[in-house]
Every structure is written in structure tokens, then in C-alpha cells.
């Protein structure tokens, strides 16, 4: 069956190439949009994602926050009050405040200064996000971090040792992060006291409180204990806060609608382009299919032959499309657009490829099922 299918595919190389190109273009466009969406959602949840979630399993914020990128102020006394609640091992204040950074070339840019207490640095960056330097270096005088991928954005070097000004106050880059970024701007990490100093943040306020859960207690249980004990705040499992932030921004900014509509358009257009091309190829070989039926081949055999061709097209097309997607991913990662495809996403892309190719073959199968074998010998 496979050998016969390959012979039919080679019979009309032009249409076979057209089908492959249609599959490749559709899957590449779908994969490209999924990759870009993955990158954007990574930025949306970047504040929580780049934090030490192994220590701060719970984040406490004000009770109306659904976006971790827009944190209101909380009374710092809550840091000590929450520490007394059952199941809480420790609490850590976090400040995340906006500031303006100025570089040696005179260029200024808005950044988010993220501060937490040394040496834990529960707000981040976590070890996997550190490119150069050591986390403890942030405890040095006037020390802040800078992001590797922001160098092109700032048009200025962010190498360790470089001097910058934050709201007119001198600071020195002592740590370089890589892919520790947010949706609303660049992240500069430092200690809690220096974050307050650089942003003129009130000494009696914090933006969030990271909570470490005591061994033997579940995160869900401690979240409930905190929410029941204190009015006006809300405790979140850190992963839930990240996911809620992503969902909130995706819906409110219509990013999900935009990407989803492009994906659906690519699937529909691919389905009909490939289907009609397969249908045209079937018409060109109608005598071959009719001859097969005339010498005893059942409709099921001819149908399976067409399905086998469409599945082989799907395999070859997916392979080519995935190679192009990997090339695209590698190319844009050098510019800071970093993402990766999960196994589920790869499986999903393959299933979409099969749907487009095999589903499109239904046009050809319908034509063959209605074909009278004797009709190919008339006239």
C-alpha cells in the first residue's frame, strides 16, 4: 500500500510539491504564532516566574489584584502578622516599583526595580536566570542587576561593573540576568532597602509578601489559613498567581483572540488548499483509480490508498515545517525572543497537520466513491 501510494505521489510531482508547500506554510504559521504567544505569556508571568518559588510558594497581595505586574501597596506590619499564622514558616517583603534608568550614552528607559531581602532574594532572580555574577553581589553597595537581552533595547552595554543612574542616583551593575524579563518593562533586581532608596518607596509599605510554607503543611491549606485570618489581602499559590496574570492580560489585551484567529485561519486555509489540490490530483489520475476498481479493487482499498498518500504528505510536510520552525526559533532567540516548544505543543502541531492533510483528502475520496469503473473506458 505504501509503495503504491508513493508511486501515485511521484506521478504528478508538481501537485505533490504544491500539497507539501501548503502543509509547510500552514504549520509554520501556526507554530510561529504559538511560539510568539509562548514568549509573550512568559513575559506576562515573568515577575513570579523569575522569583524563588521554591522558597516563596505563596504570594500575598491586595485583594483585588489579578495582575502581578500591577501590585498595590500593603502595610509592612502584615509581614510579621502573617508569620504568626498556622503553617507559615517565614515571610519575606517584596518591593516592585517603577523607576527611570539613565545610561552613560545619555539614553533613559523605564524599568521595574525589584527588591527583596539578602541573602535569600526571594523575589529573584533564581539561579537559572543568572548569566554572569553571583546573587550575593546584589548585597554590595549601590549594586543592581541588568538583563542581557536588554542591551540592544538600551543601546548600551549592560556588562558587570557598568555605572548607571536610577532616578538620578548612582548604581553599578553587579549581576547580569538572562531572560528574566517582564511584560511591562525591564527588571532590575536589588536588595529591599536599595529598591526603596532608588524608587523613594515608603519604608512602611511593601508591594507583596512571599510566604514560605512550613514542612507538613500543603500550600493550599496555608493559602486558606491566610485568607481566613486577614481581611483586605489575598494569598495566592505563586503558580496560580502567575497563571491568573497570564489569563488576565491575554484576555484584556485581546492577544489571545488575535493569535487564535490567525491559527484558525491557517488551519481552514490549509484544509481547503490541500483538499482541493488532492482533489485535482485525483481527477488527473481518475483513469488509474477507475482501472483499479475495474480489476476488482474495492472502494475501501482505493480510499485507504488516498488516505495513505495524505498521511505520507502529513509526515513529510510536518518534518519540513518543524525544521523551519526550529530554524526560526534559533534565529529569533539571538534577538531575545526566547521560547521553546513543549512535547504537547509538538504533538498538537502534528495532529493539526494530520487533520489538514487527511481531512483535505475527503474531497478526493468523495469523488472516487462516486466513480463508476466502466466510465474510464468510455469514449
- 12-53: pLDDT as tens digits: 777 788 888 888 988 999 999 899 888 988 899 999 999 999
Predicted confidence at residue 125, as pLDDT, reads 95
pLDDT at 373 over 60: no
Could you give phi then psi for residue 346, rounded to 5 degrees?
Answer: -65, -45
Question: Kind of pairing, strands 108-116 and 186-191?
Answer: parallel
In a shared domain, residues 106 and 150: yes
Query: Does 163 share its domain with 275?
Result: no
The answer to whether 116 and 92 are in contact (CB under 8 A) is yes
Q: Which residues contact 243 (CB under 8 A, 6 or more apart)?
A: 45
This model's pTM is above 0.85? no
Query: Does an H or E element contain 99, and which?
Result: strand 88-102
Residue predicted with more confidence, 13 or 313? 313
Query: Which residue(s) pair with 94 in the sheet?
Result: 116, 208
pLDDT at 186 over 80: yes
From 200, 231, 262, the end of a domain falls on 231
- 304 and 157 in a single domain? The answer is no
**Percentages helix, strand, coil for the chain, rounded to the nearest 5?**
55, 20, 25
**Element (DSSP H or E) covering residue 211:** strand 208-213
Q: Please determine, for residue 339, whether its predicted confidence score (pLDDT) is greater than 80.
A: yes
- Between 280 and 203, the more confident residue is 203
On whether both 223 and 75 belong to a single domain, the answer is yes
Collect contacts of 75-81 with beta carbons under 8 A, ≥24 apart.
Answer: 75/204, 75/205, 76/203, 76/204, 76/205, 76/206, 77/204, 78/206, 78/209, 78/230, 78/233, 79/206, 79/209, 81/230
- State the average pLDDT for the chain: 88
Residue 302: pLDDT over 90: no
Instruction: Please tell me the predicted confidence (pLDDT) of residue 375.
Output: 52
* Residue 70 counted as domain residue: yes
263 and 175 together in one domain? no
One domain for residues 219 and 173: yes
Domain of residue 349 covers: 2-43+254-377
Number of domains the chain is built from: 2
Residue 202 lies in a domain: yes
Which tops the pLDDT comparison, 259 or 76? 76
pLDDT digits (tens, 9 = 90+) for 159-181: 999 999 999 999 999 999 999 99
DSSP string of 164-182, one letter each residue: EEETTEEEEEEEEESS---
Residue 290 lies in a domain: yes
Does one domain contain both 189 and 321? no
pLDDT band with cut points at 50, 70 and 90 for residue 104:
confident
**pLDDT tens string 230-276:** 999 999 999 999 999 999 998 888 887 888 888 888 888 878 887 77
Q: In this structure, is residue 51 part of a structural domain?
A: no
pLDDT recorded at residue 269: 83
* Higher pLDDT pick, 9 / 65: 65
* Cell representation of residue 116: 527583596
Which of these three, 231, 262, 286, is where a domain ends? Answer: 231
**Residue pair 274/356 in contact by the 8 Å Cβ criterion:** yes
* Mean pLDDT value of segment 107-124: 94
Q: Is residue 282 part of a domain?
A: yes
**350 belongs to a structural domain:** yes
Q: 227 falls in which pLDDT band (50, 70, 90)?
A: very high
Higher pLDDT, 372 or 13: 13
Residues 26 and 94 in one domain: no
Encode pLDDT of 342-354 as tens digits.
999 999 999 989 9
Q: For position 370, what pLDDT does the model report?
A: 64
One domain for residues 226 and 119: yes
Same structural domain, 172 and 143: yes
Residue 229's pLDDT band, with cuts at 50, 70 and 90, is: very high
Q: Above 60 in pLDDT, residue 58?
A: yes
Helix segments in 334-372, DSSP class H: 343-360, 362-369
Within a domain: residue 239?
no
Average pLDDT over residues 123-146: 94
Q: Which residue has the higher pLDDT, 105 or 245?
A: 245
Q: What is the pLDDT of residue 204?
A: 95
Residues 95 and 126 in one domain: yes
Same domain for 29 and 68?
A: no
The torsion angles phi and psi of 113, rounded to 5 degrees, stand at: -90, 120
For residue 374, pLDDT over 60 is answered with no
Those residues whose C-beta lies under 8 Å from the C-beta of residue 280, and which sit 6 or more positions away, are 15
Helix (H) or strand (E) holding 29: helix 13-44
Predicted confidence at residue 215, as pLDDT, reads 95
Given the DSSP bridges, would you call strands 205-206 and 74-75 parallel, antiparallel or unpaired? antiparallel
Which string of b and e fits 2-14 if b means at least 16 CB within 10 Å? eeebeebbeeeee
Lowest mean pLDDT among 11-25, 48-62, 109-123, 295-309: 295-309
* 57 found inside a domain: no
Q: How confident is the model at residue 289 (pLDDT cuts 50, 70, 90)?
A: low
Amino acid at each position: 500500500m505504501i509503495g503504491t501510494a508513493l508511486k501515485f505521489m511521484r506521478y504528478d510531482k508538481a501537485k505533490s510539491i504544491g500539497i507539501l508547500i501548503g502543509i509547510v506554510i500552514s504549520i509554520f504559521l501556526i507554530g510561529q504564532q504559538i511560539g510568539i504567544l509562548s514568549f509573550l505569556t512568559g513575559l506576562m508571568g515573568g515577575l513570579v516566574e523569575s522569583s524563588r518559588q521554591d522558597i516563596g510558594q505563596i504570594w500575598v497581595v491586595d485583594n483585588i489584584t489579578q495582575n502581578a505586574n500591577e501590585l498595590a501597596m500593603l502595610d509592612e506590619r502584615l509581614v510579621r502578622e502573617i508569620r504568626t499564622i498556622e503553617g507559615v514558616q517565614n515571610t519575606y517583603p517584596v518591593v516592585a516599583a517603577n523607576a527611570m534608568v539613565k545610561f552613560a550614552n545619555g539614553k533613559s528607559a523605564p524599568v521595574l526595580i525589584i527588591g527583596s531581602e539578602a541573602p535569600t532574594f526571594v523575589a529573584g532572580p533564581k539561579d537559572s536566570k543568572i548569566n554572569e555574577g553571583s546573587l550575593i553581589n546584589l548585597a554590595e553597595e549601590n549594586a543592581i542587576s541588568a538583563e542581557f537581552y536588554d542591551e540592544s533595547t538600551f543601546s548600551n552595554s549592560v556588562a558587570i561593573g557598568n555605572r548607571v543612574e536610577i532616578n538620578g542616583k548612582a548604581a553599578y551593575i553587579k549581576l547580569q540576568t538572562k531572560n528574566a524579563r517582564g511584560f511591562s518593562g525591564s527588571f532590575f533586581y536589588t536588595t529591599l532597602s536599595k529598591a526603596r532608596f532608588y524608587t523613594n518607596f515608603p519604608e512602611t509599605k511593601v508591594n507583596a509578601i512571599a510566604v514560605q510554607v512550613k514542612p507538613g503543611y500543603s500550600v493550599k491549606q496555608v493559602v486558606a489559613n491566610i485568607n481566613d485570618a486577614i481581611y483586605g489581602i489575598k494569598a495566592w499559590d505563586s503558580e496560580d498567581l502567575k497563571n491568573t496574570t497570564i489569563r488576565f492580560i491575554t484576555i484584556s489585551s485581546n492577544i489571545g483572540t488575535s493569535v487564535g484567529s490567525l491559527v484558525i485561519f491557517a488551519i481552514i486555509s490549509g484544509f481547503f488548499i490541500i483538499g482541493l489540490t488532492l482533489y485535482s490530483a485525483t481527477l488527473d489520475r481518475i483513469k488509474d483509480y477507475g482501472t483499479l476498481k475495474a480489476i476488482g479493487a474495492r472502494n475501501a482499498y482505493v480510499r485507504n490508498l488516498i488516505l495513505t498518500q495524505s498521511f505520507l504528505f502529513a509526515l513529510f510536510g510536518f518534518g519540513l515545517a518543524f525544521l523551519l520552525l526550529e530554524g526560526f526559533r534559533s534565529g529569533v532567540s539571538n534577538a531575545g525572543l526566547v521560547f521553546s516548544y513543549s512535547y504537547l505543543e509538538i504533538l498538537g502541531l502534528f495532529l493539526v497537520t494530520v487533520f489538514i492533510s487527511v481531512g483535505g483528502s475527503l474531497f478526493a475520496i468523495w469523488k472516487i466513491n462516486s466513480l463508476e469503473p466502466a466510465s474510464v473506458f468510455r469514449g
